[in-house]
Chain A
Amino acid sequence: MNLTLAEKILLNHSRIDDICPGEFIECEIDLIMVHEQLGGRIHVEFEKLGLTKVWDPEKIFFILDHWIPAPTISAAQMHQDARNFARKYQFIHNYSDQLNQGICHQVLPELGFARPGMLIVGSDSHTTTYGAFNCLSTGIGATDVSVVFATGKLWFKVPESYKIALNGEFKKGVMAKDFILQYIGDISTKGAIYKSLEFHAAESLSMDSRMTISNMAVETGAKFGIFLPDARLEKWLKFHTKESYNAMKPDENALYEKTYNYDLSEITPIVAKPSSPGNIEKIENVEGLEIDQAFLGSCTNGRMEDLRIAAKIIKGKSVNRNTRLIITPASKRIYQQAIEEGLIEIFINAGAVVTHSTCGACIGGHLGVLASDEICISSTNRNFKGRMGAPSSQVYLASPATVVASALKGKIADPREVL
């Protein structure tokens, strides 16, 4: 056989014997993640089917994270609709009242729900994040969620795959975010529409870094962003799950539509200018631009690796008087670990606001919304017009190191100079 990871995992979840890119197949879903969207269109669509139960309440992971705790009446209403649905259909893994859990894409793997070889879908485009754990995972809309709730199955078009070989190690001050921004810039935000990105990384690449890369794989238009399993993943799984799993590797002579090779030691700090993640620039060309706000957090970059480098840069220093720094850990566990390691105290002493874990600022929802014409440097994943607030506000995407280095100077700054 000559199958890629995507082909192998899709084949494992279908009833067909052979698989070929471009064909339409039906697959059985191992797990579905839903968040606020359950209270948006999902419950409305599903009720149209007139069913009294969902296919398998054990295979649904439900958490609220975008607007928590509810900052407006309409958000509270949405949460109420979602919670009522989850109770009515007796969801087992219902975290909708545990408001301190965190952001879906961080919490789900932390609780051991993302295991190698699984096929996972979710009501959020960044569901690709679980690719870091050798899962084939992708985002879907409300109608697709309703179909999965009803049948446990979903149609897929089998994607062609791109192989991306990652060798070498990042130099000081350079992070996985810089690589993925570089890649998005290289192939453009439409460069991998409907493709599966298959990352062949060295074992030295951390799980936090892999999550950042899989998370933003979707920004190239890709359907999946999956890593091969290795000893580092095995180690991570030992700490996070007792369940068995079926780690998958591609065949040695798997057929890839394109192959890319990156030497990570050659990557330098990258910033994506408004209003596209593909609008990249080397830090040297945007350095010095004055900022109003710096945001560190989100499902892309709110993990320990991100908080540690931030603390290293900011320890004993102060955020610039004309800039505000907001830090949002990606989950309760990360928040707690950051407290234990003394990072939160460093942030607070430096003048940062540390918030509870939520998607809040990233979507312009709450806890860091931008006013007209304000400029924010952000560790998040999207900088579309109005993404974090007013339509004339501007978001520059960057690594956690660049975000915090910029907060210190009050303008976009090169983290290599402050480390």
Chain B
Amino acid sequence: MNEIVGIAYILGDDISTDDIVPSYTLTMRDPREMAQFTLKFIDPNFSNDITGKNIIIAGENFGTGSSREEAVNVFKILGIKAIIAKSFARIYYRNLINNGIPGITLNWDETLFSSGDRIKIALHDGIISNISKKKKITFTKLPVFITCILEEGGVLKKLLKNG
């Protein structure tokens, strides 16, 4: 889990869970079908555009709104390995960590990241390298409590292992 390498995809501020998973898709039984509707209202082609990209870099208050964990699961299905945001909504952050996906809080601007950049995250060291832009950025390391959950691949796997 320490090192995550991937391609960046940029999103804006205040992306809500309603944006990520519109309510009308919530009753779909097949999560893969639901994932096709990810961010449909923001970018109708998102589920295609995201192909080949696996690190989301977003603005403020990412995941604001409802508690629907589908808004984490669809990203998991689409192959997202980590989310970097200026700030996260509380429930969304928990849902990310509980599902074993690192959420990194970082104040960034356009000089640091663009869509398509190759990114390397060294989680334990608190360093993000933008390989495309040849830049290194430090972030506040995640608390040990959080990295322990991530190491196990999520809170349910941790529970299964440790009881």
A interface residues, Cβ below 8 angstroms from B? 24, 36-37, 40-41, 45, 48-49, 67, 72, 74-75, 77-78, 81, 123-125, 127, 139-144, 146-147, 150-151, 155, 189-190, 193-194, 221-223, 276, 363-365, 382, 384-387, 391
Q: Which residue of A lies closest to B88 (CB)?
A: A193
Among B28, B95, B143, point to the contact of A143 (Cβ < 8 A).
B95
Distance A81 CA – B66 CA, assembled complex (angstroms): 21
A364 to B40, CA, bound (A): 15
Interface centre among B27, B41, B94, B95 (most CB of A within 10 A): B27
Q: Which residue of A lies closest to B16 (CB)?
A: A384
Of all A-B residue pairs in the complex, the 7 with the closest CB atoms, nearest first, are A141-B69, A74-B27, A141-B95, A143-B98, A190-B61, A139-B67, A391-B41
Residues of A within 8 A of B136 (CB): none
- By beta carbon, the residue of chain B nearest A127 is B67
1/0 per residue B13-45: CB within 8 Å of A? 010101100111011110000000000111000
Evaluate contact between B18 and A382: CB separation under 8 angstroms: yes
Q: Which residues of A contact B23 (CB under 8 A)?
A: 363-365, 386-387
Roughly how many angstroms separate A77 CA and B28 CA in the complex, as a whole number? 9
Whether B94 and A141, one on each chain, are in contact in the complex, defined by CB atoms closer than 8 angstroms, is: yes
**B72 contact set on A, CB distance < 8 A:** 141
B159 near A74 (CB under 8 angstroms)? no
Q: Which residue from chain B places its CB closest to the CB of A151 in the assembled complex?
A: B159
Contacts of A193 in B (CB 8 A): 61, 87-90
Compute how far the CA of A81 lies from the CA of B16 in the bound complex, rounded to whole angstroms: 27
22 example contacts (A-B, Cβ-Cβ < 8 A) are as follows A24-B143, A40-B27, A40-B70, A72-B27, A74-B29, A75-B27, A125-B67, A127-B67, A141-B98, A147-B98, A150-B159, A155-B145, A155-B155, A189-B64, A190-B14, A193-B61, A193-B87, A194-B90, A363-B23, A364-B24, A384-B16, A391-B40
* A385, B19: Cβ atoms closer than 8 Å: yes
Check if B130 is an interface residue, CB within 8 A of chain A. Answer: no
Contacts of A40 in B (CB 8 A): 26-27, 68, 70
Interface size class of chain B, counting residues whose CB lies under 8 Å from the partner chain: 35 or more
Q: How far is the CB of B95 from chain A (nearest CB, A)?
A: 4
* Distance, CA A67 to CA B70, complexed state (A): 17
A124-B156 in contact given A194-B90, A384-B16 (Cβ < 8 Å): no
A124 to B94, CA, bound (A): 14
Q: Are B73 and A190 in contact (CB under 8 A)?
A: no
Contact A386 B29 (CB under 8 A): no
**A24-B143, A151-B159, A193-B88 are contacts. A142–B69 as well, Cβ < 8 Å?**
yes
Tell whether, in the assembled complex, residue A125 and residue B65 are in contact, meaning their CB atoms are under 8 Å apart.
yes
| Closest B residue by C-beta to A46 | B156
State whether A223 touches B90 (Cβ < 8 A). Answer: yes
Q: Which of B23, B29, B60 has the most CB of A within 10 A?
A: B23
Contact between A140 and B65 (Cβ–Cβ < 8 Å)? no
Per a CB cutoff under 8 Å, which of A45, A140, A384 touches B94? Answer: A140
What residue in chain A is nearest B89 (Cβ atoms)?
A221
User: Given the complex, which residues of B lie within 8 Å of A141, measured CB to CB?
Assistant: 67-69, 72, 91, 94-95, 98
Report how far A131 CA is from B24 CA in the complex, Å: 29
In the assembly, what is the distance between CA of A144 and CA of B90, in Å? Answer: 13
Q: Closest approach, in angstroms, between the C-beta of A389 and any C-beta of chain B?
A: 9
Q: Determine the chain A residues whose CB is within 8 A of the CB of B19 once the complex forms.
A: 384-385
Closest to A81 in B: B29
Assembled-state Cα–Cα distance A223/B41 (Å): 27
Determine whether the beta carbon of B66 is less than 8 Å from that of A125. yes
Chain A residues with CB below 8 A from B89, complex form: 190, 193, 221
Could you tell me the distance in whole angstroms from the C-beta of B40 to the nearest C-beta in chain A?
Answer: 8
Contact of A24 among B16, B22, B60, B145 (CB under 8 A): B145
A residues in contact with B42, CB < 8 Å = 385
User: In the complex, which residues 97-125 of chain B have their Cβ closer than 8 Å to any Cβ of chain A?
Assistant: 98-99
Contacts of B61 in A (CB 8 A): 189-190, 193, 221
A144-B95, A385-B19 are known; give 17 further A-B pairs, CB within 8 A.
A41-B70, A74-B27, A78-B27, A140-B91, A141-B91, A142-B95, A143-B69, A143-B154, A155-B155, A189-B61, A190-B64, A193-B90, A221-B89, A364-B24, A385-B41, A386-B18, A391-B40
Residues in chain B near residue A45, CB distance under 8 A: 156
With A41-B73, A384-B18, A386-B41 known to touch, is A78 a contact of B29 (CB < 8 Å)? yes
Distance A194 CA – B145 CA, assembled complex (angstroms): 17
Per the bound structure, the CA–CA distance linking A48 and B14 in Å amounts to: 32
Q: Chain A: which residue is nearest B27 at the CB level?
A: A74
In angstroms, Cα B99 to Cα A45, docked, is 10
CB-defined contacts of B22 to chain A, threshold 8 Å: 386
CB distance B27 to A144 under 8 Å? no
In the bound complex, CA of A40 to CA of B87 (Å) = 27
Which chain B residues border A365 with CB–CB below 8 Å? 23-24
Cβ-closest chain B residue relative to A70: B27
- B57 to chain A minimum Cβ distance, whole angstroms, is 17
Instruction: List residues of chain A with CB within 8 A of the CB of B91.
Output: 125, 139-141
Residues of A within 8 A of B66 (CB): 124-125, 139
Chain B 146-163 interface mask (CB, 8 Å, partner A; 1/0):
000000001110011000
Would you list which residues of chain B between 69 and 97 have a CB under 8 Å from chain A? 69-70, 72-73, 87-91, 94-95
